[in-house]
């Protein structure tokens, strides 16, 4: 089990290096210079990084395919303890803009998306683990699958109930999935196609891609025929740049 909490709120920023010839320089600067600056901000408990695993899921997982023609996605994961997490992340963005004006940001960094999420619920697997559980020094999971959707108006509680009491239970029967968490979007003015819920699946396996393929296959071939998938009356798919499978990045 990861130690993502006590921080009940997280923020996720998707970034990329726009010049692949400078990837080492980009990561060194981000890990050694930028993260220490971010941690000086009151309310930021911890900052971790993840890298897109660039998996080939085939047709079953087409929605999780990495964006074509774009830099490899890296996630910056913020653990937050602050009365107004949304406002705090707007301050982080403004601070970064000011650093850029002063020449204190690397010029091959591009930020694609920033979202802020408040913890709703989690479930823990009771299945035997594939291997002794990975214990990273910062308490974060080894690999994560991020899934986003939009709860239809007036059906939010019903959708949450389906996820917590049906779907998360089903997914936790998949070997390699150790914990499922659910978050709600804290954007006070979300766009119409913006995700309202984040499902955060922690994977501890030698082959996270195979674990995800098993999930997608069982969703289509087992759970949907059984009527255990969320009906379209409860939710719809969100337009999101972040969804995908990511591996923990060890800071330089």
Closest by alpha carbon to 135, among 85, 75, 90, 202?
A: 202
* pLDDT for residue 217 is more than 80: yes
pLDDT in tens, 121-150: 989 887 777 777 777 777 788 999 999 999
Q: Is the pLDDT of residue 188 over 90?
A: yes
Mean pLDDT, residues 90-119 taken together: 96
For residue 167, tell me if it sits in a domain: yes
- pLDDT value for 140: 86
In-domain check, residue 3: no
The DSSP element (H or E) to which 140 belongs, if any, is none
- Using the 8-state DSSP alphabet, how is residue 247 labeled? E
pLDDT of 114 strictly over 80? yes
What whole-number distance in Å separates Cα of residue 152 and Cα of residue 61? 23
CB atoms within 10 A of CB 247: 16
Overall average pLDDT of the 50-68 stretch: 88
Q: For residues 47 and 32, is the Cβ–Cβ distance under 8 A?
A: no
Q: Does 198 map to a domain?
A: yes
Assess if residue 95 is contained within a domain: yes
Give the mean model confidence (pLDDT) for residues 17-27. Answer: 97
Residue 1 is assigned to a structural domain of this protein: no
pLDDT at 1 over 50: no
Q: Which residue has the higher pLDDT, 236 or 179?
A: 179
Q: What is the CATH number for 20?
A: 3.30.70.100
pTM score of the predicted model:
0.93
H or E segment and range at residue 184: strand 177-185
User: Which helix or strand (DSSP H or E) is residue 208 part of?
Assistant: helix 208-218
Mean pLDDT for all residues in the chain: 91
**The total number of structural domains that make up the chain:** 1
239 belongs to a structural domain:
yes
2 in any annotated domain:
no
Q: What is the pLDDT of residue 3?
A: 58
Six-digit token string for 210: 């195979």
Which residue range(s) make up the domain with 194?
9-249
4 found inside a domain: no
Q: pLDDT band at residue 4, thresholds of 50, 70 and 90?
A: low
Please say if the pLDDT value at position 86 is more than 90. yes
Cβ neighbours around 188 below 10 Å, total:
7
């Amino acid at each position: 089990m990861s130690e993502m909490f006590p921080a009940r709120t997280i923020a996720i920023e998707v970034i990329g290096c726009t010049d692949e010839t400078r990837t080492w320089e980009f990561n060194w600067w981000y890990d050694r210079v930028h993260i220490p600056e971010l941690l000086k901000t009151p309310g930021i408990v911890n900052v971790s990084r993840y890298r897109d695993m660039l998996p080939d899921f085939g047709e079953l997982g087409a929605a999780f395919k990495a964006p074509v023609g774009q830099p490899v996605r890296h996630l910056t994961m913020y653990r937050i303890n602050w009365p107004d997490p949304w406002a705090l992340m707007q301050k982080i963005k403004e601070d970064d803009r000011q650093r850029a004006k002063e020449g204190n940001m690397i010029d091959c960094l591009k930020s694609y998306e920033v979202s802020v999420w408040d913890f709703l619920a989690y479930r823990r697997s009771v299945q035997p683990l594939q291997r002794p559980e990975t214990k990273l020094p910062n308490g974060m999971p080894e690999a994560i699958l991020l899934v986003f959707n939009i709860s239809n108006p007036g059906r939010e509680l019903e959708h949450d109930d389906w996820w917590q009491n049906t779907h998360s239970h089903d997914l936790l029967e998949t070997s390699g999935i150790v914990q499922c968490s659910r978050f709600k979007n804290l954007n006070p003015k979300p766009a119409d196609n913006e995700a309202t819920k984040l499902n955060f699946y922690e994977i501890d396996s030698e082959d996270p891609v195979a674990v995800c393929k098993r999930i997608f296959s069982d969703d289509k071939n087992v759970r949907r025929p059984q009527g255990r998938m969320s009906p379209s009356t409860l939710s719809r798919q969100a337009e999101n740049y972040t969804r995908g499978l990511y591996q923990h990045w060890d800071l330089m």
